[in-house]
Each structure stands twice: as structure tokens, then as C-alpha cells.
């Protein structure tokens, strides 16, 4: 049996283990970083000079000081010092500085990128998959059938995306 959980390396207790409270408290400290995670900022390489207990950051790609060796990790300041949690593919964290979600794609943190099949507001789809291109109108200098066709295609695309009503 492993001495830590598979996903976030939370320490596990062992039968007959001395000072179990230390391992239990360490697991709670890391779990506290991961439950509804919020970070002060994303991609900092230098630890802040005066962190407050409970504050977290996403470490940059070239960390230094106390963060050295922890690229892209979630770094949380606790009463016992820095705690680090390695990111997992699909992890999403709110960035206070950016006022956006930061999502880990398995390689890097993406700020503000939202992947979705559609966007609904009040149960109504307002944005869907991208439609095919609409050709530019060609023709004379007065309103003609090409212009009407182009305008009709734009309106149809806006309706299919739910941006305007049918």
C-alpha cells in the first residue's frame, strides 16, 4: 500500500504509526488548498515577501527561492510554511488578480480559456459551434441580390447561435 493518495499525494496513515496527527494535519492542509481553490495570482516565479496564512498562488515556469523545483504547482502558505500541490489535467482555479478561471491543460495553465460545446443563458443557447464562412458580397454599387444574400446569411448565423431570436 502507498503512503500517499494517487492524485494529490495526501499523506495516508499507517497502522501503528507514531504521531499520526502530523500526517493527518498535513493532509488537511493540502486538502484546504484544493477545496474550491482560489489563487492571488498565476505564474509568479518569486514567492511573495509577506504571505498571509491561507493565501495561494500558481507558481510560474521558472520558480526561485522557496518555490524552486515547483514549476506550475499550487503554492499555499500555511502556519507550517509553504505547501505545494502538483497540478492535474483539468484542474480549474479562480485567479483573483485576473478575475478569471485558470485551467491546467496537462501542460500549462490557461487563463480565461473556456472550453464548451455551447453557451446557454437562462436555459437558452446563445452561442454554439462555429458555422461555415459567409462569402463576401460581390456586385454593383446598389443594393442587389448578393448583398441581400450576405445579410440573410449573417442573420441566419446569428439566429443559429442564439444571439438573436428567430
HEC secondary structure over 25-93 = HHHHHHHHHHCCCEECCEEECCCCCCCCCCCEEEECCCCCHHHCCCCCCEEEEECCEEEEECCCCCCEE
The pLDDT score that the predictor gives to residue 92 is: 94
One domain for residues 31 and 105: yes
One domain for residues 134 and 74: no
pTM beyond 0.95, yes or no: no
More confident residue, 164 or 39: 39
- Give the tens place of pLDDT for each residue, 64-118: 999 999 999 999 998 889 989 999 999 999 999 999 999 999 999 999 998 888 8
The pLDDT score that the predictor gives to residue 104 is: 96
One domain for residues 96 and 137: no
In order, the DSSP letters of 83-151 are EEE---TT-EEEETTTTEEEEE-SSSEEES----S-EEETTEEEE-SPPPPPPPP-S-SS--HHHHHHH
| Chain position carrying cell 501542460 | 107
The residue-averaged pLDDT of 45-64 equals 96
Q: Which residue(s) pair with 119 in the sheet?
A: 127
Residues 112, 80: Cα–Cα separation, whole Å: 32
- Does residue 139 carry a pLDDT above 80? no
One domain for residues 31 and 77: yes
Q: Which helix H or strand E contains 152, and what residues bound it?
A: helix 145-160
One domain for residues 67 and 132: no
The pLDDT score that the predictor gives to residue 134 is: 73
Q: Is residue 165 part of a domain?
A: no
- Give the tens place of pLDDT for each residue, 2-49: 776 666 666 667 777 778 777 677 777 777 777 778 999 999 999 999
The pLDDT score that the predictor gives to residue 62 is: 97
The pLDDT score that the predictor gives to residue 5 is: 66
One domain for residues 100 and 133: no
Query: How many structural domains are present in the chain?
Result: 2
The residue-averaged pLDDT of 115-138 equals 80
Q: What is the DSSP letter of 9?
A: -
Q: How many CB atoms lie within 10 A of CB 77?
A: 21
The pLDDT score that the predictor gives to residue 152 is: 87
Range of the domain at 145: 119-160
One domain for residues 141 and 84: no
Amino acid at each position: 500500500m502507498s503512503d500517499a493518495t494517487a492524485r494529490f499525494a495526501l499523506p495516508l496513515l499507517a497502522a501503528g504509526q507514531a504521531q499520526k496527527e502530523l500526517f493527518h494535519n498535513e493532509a488537511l492542509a493540502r486538502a484546504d488548498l484544493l477545496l474550491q481553490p482560489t489563487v492571488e495570482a498565476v505564474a509568479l516565479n518569486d514567492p511573495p515577501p509577506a504571505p498571509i496564512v491561507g493565501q495561494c498562488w500558481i507558481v510560474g515556469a521558472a520558480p526561485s527561492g522557496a518555490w524552486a523545483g515547483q514549476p506550475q504547482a499550487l503554492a499555499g502558505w500555511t502556519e507550517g510554511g509553504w505547501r505545494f500541490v502538483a497540478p492535474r489535467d483539468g484542474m480549474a482555479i479562480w485567479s483573483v488578480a485576473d478575475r478569471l478561471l485558470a485551467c491546467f491543460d496537462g501542460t500549462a495553465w490557461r487563463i480565461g480559456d473556456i472550453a464548451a460545446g455551447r453557451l446557454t443563458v437562462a436555459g437558452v443557447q446563445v452561442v454554439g459551434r462555429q458555422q461555415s464562412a459567409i462569402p463576401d458580397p460581390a456586385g454593383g454599387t446598389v443594393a442587389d441580390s448578393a448583398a441581400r444574400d450576405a445579410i440573410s446569411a449573417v442573420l441566419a448565423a446569428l439566429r443559429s447561435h442564439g444571439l438573436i431570436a428567430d
